[in-house]
Amino acid sequence: MQKGTISVQTENIFPIIKQFLYSDQEIFLRELVSNAVDATNKLKTLALRGEVKGEIGDTTIEIILDKEAKTLTIRDKGVGMTEEEVNKYLNQVAFSSAQEFLEKYKNDANLIGHFGLGFYSAFMVAKQVDVLTKSWQKGAKGVLWTCEGNPEYSIGAHKKADRGTDIVLHISDDAVEYLEDSRIEGLLEKYCKFLPVPIKFGTRKEYVDEAGETPEGEEKKQVEVEVDNIVNNPSPIWKKQPAELTDEDYRSFYNELHPYSQPPMFWIHLNIDHPFNLTGILYFPKLNNAIEAQRNKIQLYSNQVYVTDDVKEIVPEFLMLLHGIIDSPDIPLNVSRSALQSDQNVKKITGYITRKVAEKLQELFNKDREGYESKWTDLGVFVKYGMISDEKFYEKAQKFVLFKNTEEKYFTIEEYREKVAPLQTDKHDKVVLLYTNNPDAHDSFIRACREKEYDVLVMDTIIDNHFIQQLEYKLGNVLFVRVDSDTVDNLVQKDEKRESVLSESEEKAVKEVFESLASEAGASVTTQALSPDAYPVVITKPEFMRRMKEMQQFQGMNFGAFPDSYNVVVNTNHPVIATKLLAETDAEKKKDMARYLYDIALLNQNMLKGAELTDFVKKSIGML
């Protein structure tokens, strides 16, 4: 039995591993299983080159839990190690077997892990680690290496019969959670779900048809059998060529990633090998106008090893709404694989993903516009968010972002501008785009616009306020105005000026009645000669103030809330105003009538609430 001290630059590497290299204790299993995968892939590479003779047999990796012995074993049937290799790779931490193998077989570099210190993460949960190993090389003997979490180790011969390596962790008293089946199964599901070698953790029961003949007319009987519990999918579809896959394959994989979710609208299969390696699948989920609930559902892998779902360094902000997998060995990570490092490769990957997403959307728009329009309710938030947050995406998306009007028709930016310009251009030569964020609440305003042959857009997503301001800034010659804005009637150049049926003194008298009511709310009152068919009293809101208030609410800002402000527009051409109100000689009755008309206008804007609404209802019933 040989004894020695692990060769490291510092007196004791173990506290460093626990405190600095690996901030998350649970990743020990990922590192050890990844090493087992590397050892297995090395064996397969050697076999392909003819250096390993004969069949290599079953290469399933086993995870074995022994609660009584308080051990967790990771067993592989890979290349194994000789005593010399154990000394080199386990005792001289500065070396990495993966690095040496990489030099020797650089053409197969994608098979090899990048992280030589992964083995030592075992000491975060183990008070002692035993390594039982036997090399694939002819005549090799078994080796046992033991270490108790300090620089001292022992190494000697072992009667191990089979090729491969067992890493036996004697679990520490402060890490007994890793002796629970459910905890280990959860970690395997999280970190090892798509590793390229089958991983067995215990057995499970399955029902299969009973062997032998079944009498005619009878159903096959099923019997319960015990089978290996393989916890991973070694051949995920993102590693295959798109030509090999059907739509059902993509949908099934999405269901594997996000069980019980609504099916995705469509997807993008990423596959590039120059100037960097990247594969993956990104799915477009049904957003239903909900941004926050959909975030952080892209997982990053490195050679099928799970790294993180915090991918903000490589995926632009707006693409965080997508779901799926990105797998790249070229993304630089720190030694614990937990932090992405910003470099040129990362920037190239970010640009590539953005371009592929834009190309996919343009392709869908060009090939099947009707189908594209049918998805716009879910797609609109994503595209608009992308245009707001990413300049390159904005340039491409101008061709496939859509406007929807109140008649459920869809237009590109250019199509819509051409449609409305003849009637909706103001005196400053800006095309006025009228819109509503609530068609039901704004029904009367929309009808008034239609009477003038104006078109009204529906802009009701949670980011439309930002999107509108961006388009005004970028396009320069358009102006968005909500249908209940106080500026609608003044902005449109071709709007004919109506003559009022009231004299100047009569208009003044009408205005004074309503001012006595509106002053309590701090609202201003104007009289306008609108159509006799329009409402007698209309509430409008200042476009600028309303937008600022909405922006403030969206961003959760607290400093100096913008006040609620609105204007009361009295239609002097409406018969109720021009005849009935003016004809009333009783001052109190005249004020009651004006109050009732004012309340109707407030109700129409969903602004009549509480006691005022109760009084209005009582008054309406009393009038009947």
Residues 600-618: pLDDT tens digits?
A: 888 877 788 888 888 878 8
DSSP H or E segment with residue 365: helix 344-367
pLDDT at 267: 94
Q: Which residues pair with 4 in a beta bridge?
A: 153
Tell me the C-alpha distance between 54 and 119, whole Å: 30
264 neighbors 323 (Cβ within 8 angstroms) = yes
Same structural domain for residues 454 and 597? no
Tell me the C-alpha distance between 40 and 34, whole Å: 10
Same structural domain for residues 486 and 519? no
For the chain, give the percent of residues with pLDDT over 70.
82
Best-predicted range by mean pLDDT (313-317, 412-416, 493-497, 551-555):
412-416
| 3 state SS of 322 | coil
Of the chain, the end-to-end C-alpha distance in Å amounts to 105
Q: Which two tokens stand for residue 438?
A: 């609530």
In a domain, 106, yes or no: yes
Least confident of 235-249, 467-481, 534-548: 534-548
Q: Which residues pair with 509 in a beta bridge?
A: none
pLDDT at 141: 94
The closest alpha carbon to 375, from 388, 360, 387, belongs to 360
Where does 277-327 show beta strands of DSSP type E? 278-284, 297-302, 305-308, 323-327
Provide the pLDDT confidence category of residue 329 given band limits of 50, 70 and 90: confident
Same structural domain for residues 163 and 14? yes
Provide the pLDDT confidence category of residue 225 given band limits of 50, 70 and 90: confident
Same structural domain for residues 260 and 354? yes
| End residue of a domain, out of 349, 371, 393 | 371
The closest alpha carbon to 112, from 61, 78, 141, belongs to 78
Same structural domain for residues 478 and 515? no
In a domain, 221, yes or no: no
- Residue 330 pLDDT > 60: yes
The closest alpha carbon to 78, from 120, 144, 133, 115, belongs to 133
Same structural domain for residues 7 and 129? yes
Report, in angstroms and rounded to the nearest whole number, the Rg of the chain calculated over CA atoms: 36
Provide the pLDDT confidence category of residue 367 given band limits of 50, 70 and 90: very high
Q: Supply the CATH number for residue 312's domain.
A: 3.30.230.80
- Residue 554 pLDDT > 70: no
In a domain, 260, yes or no: yes
pLDDT at 383: 93
In a domain, 384, yes or no: no
Average pLDDT for residues 126-153, to the nearest whole number? 91
- Residue 555 pLDDT > 70: no
Average pLDDT for residues 429-450, to the nearest whole number? 88
- pLDDT tens-digit readout, 343-362: 666 778 888 889 999 999 99
- Residue 291 pLDDT > 70: no
In a domain, 381, yes or no: no
pLDDT at 53: 84
In a domain, 217, yes or no: no
Tell me the C-alpha distance between 75 and 148, whole Å: 20
For all residues of the chain together, what is the average pLDDT? 83
Q: Supply the CATH number for residue 452's domain.
A: 3.40.50.11260
Same structural domain for residues 87 and 41? yes
Q: Supply the CATH number for residue 524's domain.
A: 1.20.120.790
Least confident of 299-308, 317-326, 547-556: 547-556
In a domain, 40, yes or no: yes
- Residue 551 pLDDT > 70: no
Average pLDDT for residues 268-292, to the nearest whole number? 82
- Residue 109 pLDDT > 80: no
Least confident of 192-206, 390-404, 525-539: 525-539
Provide the pLDDT confidence category of residue 144 given band limits of 50, 70 and 90: very high
Same structural domain for residues 327 and 448? no
Same structural domain for residues 125 and 243? no
- Residue 277 pLDDT > 60: yes
- pLDDT tens-digit readout, 53-107: 888 999 999 999 999 999 999 999 999 999 999 988 887 654 444 455 445 544 4
- pLDDT tens-digit readout, 169-183: 999 999 999 999 999
pLDDT at 117: 60
- Residue 130 pLDDT > 90: yes
The closest alpha carbon to 384, from 318, 480, 477, belongs to 318
Instruction: Give the domain range for residue 76.
Output: 2-202
Q: Provide the angle, in degrees to the nearest 10, between the axes of the packed helices 610-623 and 587-604.
A: 120
In a domain, 136, yes or no: yes
Best-predicted range by mean pLDDT (55-69, 319-333, 502-516):
55-69
Q: Supply the CATH number for residue 79's domain.
A: 3.30.565.10
Tell me the C-alpha distance between 314 and 49, whole Å: 36
Q: How many domains does the chain have?
A: 4
Is cis: bond before 259, omega within 30 of 0?
no
Least confident of 133-142, 208-217, 402-411: 208-217
Average pLDDT for residues 437-450, to the nearest whole number? 86
User: 4: Cβ–Cβ under 8 A, 6 or more apart, which residues?
Assistant: 91, 152, 153, 155
Same structural domain for residues 111 and 254? no
Least confident of 131-140, 362-371, 584-593, 605-614: 605-614
Same structural domain for residues 68 and 150? yes
- Residue 494 pLDDT > 50: no
Same structural domain for residues 581 and 616? yes
Strands 61-66 and 199-209: parallel
Average pLDDT for residues 527-550, to the nearest whole number? 75
DSSP for 212-279? S---TTPPPPEEEEEEEEE-S-SS-GGGS-GGG--HHHHHHHHHHHSTTPPPPSEEEEEEE-SSS-EE
- pLDDT tens-digit readout, 431-440: 999 999 889 8
Distances (CA, A) of 607 to 304, 541, 547: 56, 12, 17
